[in-house]
Structure 1
């Protein structure tokens, strides 16, 4: 009996296997974004404070009861020959009735996620451009970007292909509307 020949792994499969085998230091996040492995250091206190303030408002005011996850990685559809993007947003929101986070391991599909949240940190360009493209390609309805460098909050909506067709930006201190299923004005005064 002869041994069956194994198909050689494609470059994308090798990249994904290498990525999944990474052992990053505690607090660091490794992501696979548009075919590149990106490692980010732990966030600072202001970064975490902004996330907490937004999560609190969503839980208090959202028309639809939402669940939040801050460490759950998302497997996103990608473009071209790249492997699927694996991104860890600063936060994801999903309608509670879906119970998306239940039973999922550290990486889950993005189907059902209503909004992703990113707060800029050491690589703001990635949040402003690269991750925005990834989330749009994946069809995530809303992307909430808190840009600390320019003191601005932006809601991106209507994903189509590699970008969002609509966006609304407000400076810190001005309220910004989170559309359905959230349906409330996010107060950004505490971000000043």
Structure 2
């Protein structure tokens, strides 16, 4: 991950404008955190296989009025953060076709799939930020969990923390609550090899 520091005290709008104007290499993503714009490298094949499986499962259970996106900037304005979740679910009526991001308050669910280099951030910083947004559901697919690959669904955000957590190992189904009402099958999720980079 490469970070570009921004002078302290700059307005959020200036930082956001800088993010919008960046010429990001193809496949990379830019995120804003702690007054810095960080470039996140493209994920590996295993990561993309999981993203495709989850995307397909979500599209099958949602109405056409709800979109599932892989490259939608998600702003958490009070915290001056902007993340690019691996998948984000949003009612299409709340999107501005002329904008490059959406307010996290409009997000129904954010999905992050860990890579070796960003697993800690997905487990801590993003969990904290999504709970504060608040994003109603945060699905963390952790290929690099020290206890073995897991899927954790965080629900019911209140006062900056999720009150309910459902955790399952790869291979066990994960029930997504309404409005999804689907059981996410994880048996085909590829676990990360011990020596895998992403």
After TM superposition, the score normalised by the length of structure 1 is: 0.82
- Determine the structure 1 residue equivalent to 2:139: 144
- Determine the structure 2 residue equivalent to 1:54: 54
Matches within 5 A, 1:160-179: 160-179=158-177
Find out whether 1:131 has 2:129 as its counterpart.
no
Aligned structure 1 segments of 4 or more residues deviating by more than 4 angstroms = 14-21, 62-65
Alignment deviations for residues 136-192 of structure 1 (CA, whole Å, 9 cap, x no partner): 111110000100113100000111233212111100000111111111211111114
- Determine the structure 2 residue equivalent to 1:88: 84
Find out whether 1:103 has 2:97 as its counterpart.
yes
Distance 1:54 1:126, change over 3 A: same
Indicate the SS of the match to 1:167: strand
Indicate the SS of the match to 1:56: helix
Indicate the SS of the match to 2:124: helix
Q: Which has the larger Rg?
A: 1
| Maintained 8 Å contact 1:157/1:166 | yes
Distance 1:185 1:63, change over 3 A: farther
What's the C-alpha RMSD, in Å, of the aligned pairs? 2.4
| Maintained 8 Å contact 2:75/2:83 | yes
Shift of 1:93: 0.9
Indicate the SS of the match to 1:99: helix
| Maintained 8 Å contact 2:75/2:101 | yes
Distance (Å, rounded) in 2 between the aligned partners of 1:165 and 1:64: 30
- Determine the structure 1 residue equivalent to 2:27: 27
Distance 1:93 1:18, change over 3 A: closer
- Determine the structure 2 residue equivalent to 1:6: none
Alignment deviations for residues 18-76 of structure 1 (CA, whole Å, 9 cap, x no partner): 54443332222111124333221011111111011011112224589641011110111
- Determine the structure 2 residue equivalent to 1:38: 38
| Maintained 8 Å contact 1:77/1:137 | no
After TM superposition, the score normalised by the length of structure 2 is: 0.79
Unaligned runs of 5+ in 1: 1-8
